[in-house]
Amino acid sequence: MNDSHSKVYNDNLQLEIDTLEWLLKQLKPYTKKDITEERIKAIIAAKVEDLERKMKKASYIWDTDTLFTKAETLRWVLYVILAIKNGEILIV
């Protein structure tokens, strides 16, 4: 985050960071061997479903935007994990 960026940008970036931290906390109880693609998919799918359910009930645009950002961040994480696994992204 940078003071030269707008507050909205920094707030959105912080929300993405918080979402990633949440996912890491969900995986923390598992050993590296136990963290499978299927487990990650299940955790993300359950959370995205919950977020989408909340989005449908949200009555304020701020709430909807926040929930949407969280859901998209989790979908992005899943996409990156699968892309790495399938050799579509190279980690250097």
pLDDT digits (tens, 9 = 90+) for 26-48: 888 888 888 888 888 999 999 99
Structural domain contains residue 2: no
Taking the complete model, does pTM exceed 0.85, yes or no?
A: no
Structural domain contains residue 38: yes
Structural domain contains residue 91: no
Q: How many domains does the chain have?
A: 1
CB atoms within 10 A of CB 10: 14
Q: How confident is the model at residue 2 (pLDDT cuts 50, 70, 90)?
A: low
What does DSSP assign to residue 46?
H
pLDDT at 3: 73
Structural domain contains residue 12: yes
Number of H helices and E strands in the chain, helices first, is 3, 0
Residues 25, 30, 31, 34: is their CA dihedral positive or negative?
negative
Structural domain contains residue 90: no
Structural domain contains residue 92: no
